Amino acid sequence: MMNGKQYRESLKKLKPIIYCNGEKIEDVTTHPMIRPHVNSAAMTYELASDPLYQNLMTARSHLTGKTINRFTHIHQSKEDLVSKVKMLRMIANKTGTCFQRCVGLDAMNATFMTTYDIDKKCGTEYHKRFVKWLEYVQENDLMIAGSMTDPKGNRSLKPSAQADPDLFTRVVEKRDDGVVLCGAKAHQTGMANSHEMLILPTTNLLPGDEAWAIACAVPVDAEGVTHIFGRQTNDQRRLQGHIDTGNAEYAIVGGETLTVLDHVFVPWDRVFMCGEIEFAQDYVTRFASYHRQNYGGCKVGNSDVLIGATALMADMNGTARASHVKDKLIEMTHLAETMYCCSLACSYEGHRTEAGNYYVDTLLANEVKLNCTRNIYEIARLAHDIAGGFIATLPYEKDLMAPETGDLIRKFLAANAEFDAVDRIKLARLIENMSGGTALAESMHGAGSPQAMKVMILRESNMDRKKELAADLADLFCEKEA
Ligand SMILES: Cc1cc2nc3c(=O)[nH]c(=O)nc-3n(C[C@H](O)[C@H](O)[C@H](O)COP(=O)(O)OP(=O)(O)OC[C@H]3O[C@@H](n4cnc5c(N)ncnc54)[C@H](O)[C@@H]3O)c2cc1C
């Protein structure tokens, strides 16, 4: 396993093409826009080498028997599924943001199951290839970006019907030694500081869409790959100081990229699906369900920090004893723990698959994420309510530091005299940054938009059985049957 330092060194050896704000990034580990995201991901390496956290952070590889980082593990039990959730909450407590590495973990577990199923039905050898690549990932403790989402163009059209066929990633050439890809993957969390990406389809596919049924592993610096780094709320504050950033060490959400694939060659031993459209829907559902499970771990871990910051702000404002403030803090906790309950439940209700790994209960996993699309917004709303309007109107850090204005700001932003005014400002910036634009949008769309969960919930809800239960109790339809 790598530690944090080794992870950073391993990134320096890669040569991905990354553009950010008109500039080509040479070293992600030192660039001020990407470094905070590297720091968050590095936490998944640092904690794995800390004896205090090894139970949660490491696992025994079912392939080699060696101790590996849990972010490269194929779940072998319900306890593994539960440990994943607890691990995510624990790391989020330390970073207060996304640490990115779960997407690849989920893509790997979904690929493990799906390649097994494809081989069983089609006599292919995708599973063997995938397992060999997985062993390499585990052995080298690689960070894998989970690359599902295509740009998608016109949402009502399937890939083969799009005006531009590249709007979904596709195979443009099959060669004796491999395939050539064109297209792009959007919103790629942690891509800039990953080692490889695991590409999988983004939607169910129909006859005619075979070229778009592609799953494969691609190094982030493969020829033909270009990454364009996304903006985040207040990201330029990173260039201007420390306090205004709110969480300067770790930034906000995952540092997403638009990753363009322009005639990227992938050798056959890295191709895990090629043309089998009938498996695309299950593949997507599995990845999405594993990923939705996470949100009651990491987002609850982030909420722990935000709730703590809000409670501390109430102390600083002198409002902590007011009953409505206590009630709102209880409500925030209730909303967070509800999501955690769902994540634990979908893990404990998981089951062993035919491929041998463990998979979450899909209905309950979708409940986690649907709750998240609402609860995180409500938690943020309550944080804003308790913190006060100054989180939206605070002066610049530069003015706080300036001789002409610094003392005035300290004087007029003082509240409860037991606390320092600058600490109050720092805390306000943390709340502002954890509860604002980018962080909220991630809770809405990360792992799928709410409607995607509702479709799954309807599919899994067994409505006919529910109708039967009611009909039996109400003694319905007897006459018709008689
Ligand atoms: C911060 C963040 C991180 C992410 N990280 C990753 C990642 O690491 N890897 C990855 O692969 N993806 C990632 N995603 C992508 C995420 O899975 C998508 O954002 C999500 O699936 C929604 O897709 P979209 O953004 O294209 O929105 P859209 O699909 O455009 O959805 C917008 C709205 O349109 C509706 N809609 C969409 N299609 C239809 C239709 N056919 N008919 C009617 N209504 C429709 C939706 O229900 C929604 O209300 C990330 C997203 C975010 C925001």
The 10s digit of each residue's pLDDT in 392-420 is 999 999 999 999 999 999 999 999 999 99
Give the CA distances from residue 279 to residues 166, 201, 323, 344, 459, in Å, rounded to whole numbers and listed in that order: 21, 10, 54, 28, 17
User: What local confidence, expressed as pLDDT, does residue 482 receive?
Assistant: 62
Q: Are 376 and 303 in contact (CB under 8 A)?
A: yes
Whole-number Å distance, alpha carbon 461 to ligand 1 midpoint, is 23
Name the phi and psi angles at 440, rounded to 5: -70, -45
How far, in Å, is the centroid of ligand 1 from the Cα of 160?
19
For the question of residue 274 being annotated catalytic, the response is no
- To the nearest whole percent, how much of the chain has pLDDT over 90? 96
pLDDT on residue 252:
81
User: Residue 42: is its pLDDT beyond 70?
Assistant: yes
- The Å distance, Cα 184 to ligand 1 centre, comes to 14
Length, in residues, of the chain: 482
pLDDT tier at 288 (50, 70, 90 boundaries)?
very high
Share of the chain above pLDDT 70, in %: 99
Per-residue pLDDT of 153-187, as tens digits, reads 999 999 999 999 999 999 999 999 999 999 999 99
Asked whether 366 and 402 are in contact (CB, 8 A), the reply is: no
Mean pLDDT within 361-378: 98
Task: Report whether residue 442 contacts ligand 1, using a CB cutoff of 6 Å.
Answer: yes
Q: Is the pLDDT of residue 480 over 70?
A: no
Ligand 1 center to 296 CA (angstroms) = 19
122 lines ligand 1 (CB under 6 A): no
Name the catalytic one among 46, 367, 432, 442: 442
Amino acid type, 405 = T
Of residues 291, 346, 359, 372, which has the active-site annotation? 291
Residues 456 and 449: beta-carbon distance below 8 Å: no
Q: Is 154 in the pocket of ligand 1 (CB under 6 A)?
A: no
Average pLDDT, the chain: 97
Grade residue 430 by pLDDT with cuts at 50, 70 and 90: very high
Q: What is the pLDDT of residue 437?
A: 84
Q: How many CA atoms does the CB half-sphere of 130 hold within 13 Å?
A: 27
Contact yes or no for 40/189 (Cβ under 8 A): no
158 lines ligand 1 (CB under 6 A): no
- In this prediction, residue 272 carries a pLDDT of 98
Find the mean pLDDT for residues 74-79: 98
Residue 479 known to be catalytic: no
pLDDT of residue 1: 97
Strand partners, 199: 147, 216
Give CA–CA dist 109/75, Å, rounded: 7
In this predicted structure, what is the pLDDT of residue 40?
Answer: 98
What is the tens place of the pLDDT at every residue in 178-231? 999 999 999 999 999 999 999 999 999 999 999 999 999 999 999 999 999 999
Render pLDDT for 236-268 as a digit per residue (tens, 0 to 9): 999 888 999 999 999 888 899 999 999 999 999
Would you say residue 276 has pLDDT above 70? yes
Please indicate whether residue 453, judged by its CB atom, sits closer than 6 Å to ligand 1. Answer: no
| Beta carbon of 230 within 6 Å of any ligand 1 atom | no
- Is there a contact between 295 and 339 (Cβ–Cβ < 8 Å)? yes
Q: With bands split at pLDDT 50, 70 and 90, how would you rate the model's confidence at 429?
A: very high
Structure tokens at 131: 């397992």
pLDDT at 253: 83
Q: What's the pLDDT tens digit per position in 298-341?
A: 999 999 999 999 999 999 999 999 999 999 999 999 999 999 99
The predicted pLDDT at position 481 comes to: 66
Asked which of 47-56, 237-246, 451-460 is least confident by mean pLDDT, the reply is 237-246
Q: For residue 452, how far is its CA from the centre of ligand 1 (angstroms)?
A: 9
Cβ-proximal residues to 120 (8 Å cutoff; 6+ apart), any chain: 354
Q: Whose CA is nearest to atom 48 of ligand 1?
A: 449
Which residue is closest in CA terms to ligand 1's atom 13?
187
Cα radius of gyration rounded to whole Å, the chain: 24
Give me the pLDDT at residue 118, please: 98
Which ligand 1 atom is at minimum distance from the Cα of 100?
Answer: 8
